[in-house]
Structure 1
Amino acid sequence: MRSETIETPSEDDEHLTLAQAAATLPGRPHLSTLHRWRLRGVRGVRLRTCLVGGRRFTTRRWLREFCAASTAAGDELIAPTTKPSAERERAIRAAKAELDAAGI
């Protein structure tokens, strides 16, 4: 089971299905794009959603926050919020050591 932070919108936030949210964004990204943003994120930033009755919803505020954070990360104004796992760090160190040993 995946552990996620429970996010609930405020009472003033309008719930949008991901399809509705896609329709409000410039370029009208495909529904699968919003699912990818929620699951994998962009530049370490994930789109916040909530699950209501088996359907995923987001809010206009969460969309604005996602766009601002992913833009800032893309502009290298902030560091990504995720860091490599310990296993990935070990693999990176091993690869660097192998390259150094080979003189590359």
Structure 2
Amino acid sequence: MIQDEKLFPLPTAYEKATGIRPHPATCHRHKTCGIKGVRLETIKCGGRRFTSVEAVQRFNAEITAAADGGLPKPRTERQRVTAIERAERELASENL
């Protein structure tokens, strides 16, 4: 959660996360419009917007995944149960 992370003004957090200091307008676009449907997490404090280095890293990971064909779909409960049963059968067949 962004509330539990150390907060910085948007350009500063970007610089700490990537080594590049973007224009403030770029940060504003990332928090309002986003990229490929992914928006940067921010928090408003005292009339200013802040984010964390971790939020910038999550944002970059999500836009990279979206650009590479999308985020993987989470498994359904049935798929999870089936995978557990298969793993248990494999372990039992190997006497582990």
Distance 1:75 1:14 in 2: 30
Deviation at 1:22, TM superposition (A): 3.2
Which of 35, 40, 43 pairs up with 1:47?
40
Q: Which has the higher contact order (CA 8 A, sep 6+)?
A: 2
Aligned partners of 1:18 and 1:56 also within 8 Å: yes
Moved more, 40-49 or 22-31: 22-31
Q: How does 1:18-97 map to 2 (within 5 A)?
A: 18-24=10-16, 25-78=18-71
Query: Where is the helix percentage greater, Structure 1 or Structure 2?
Result: 2
Shift of residue 29, structure 1, vs aligned partner: 1.9
Cα RMSD for the two superposed structures: 1.8
Task: Give the aligned partner of residue 9 of structure 1.
Answer: 3
Q: Distance in 1 between matches of 2:49 and 2:9?
A: 6
Per-residue CA distance 1:27-85 (angstroms, 9 max, x = gap) = 43211101100000001100000000101000111111100000000111328xxxxxx
SS at match of 2:25: helix
How many residues in Structure 1 have an aligned counterpart in Structure 2?
71
Corresponding letter in the other structure for 2:63: S
Q: Gapped runs of 5+ residues in structure 2?
A: 73-96
Asked if the contact 1:17–1:57 (Cα under 8 Å) also holds between the matched residues in 2, the reply is: yes
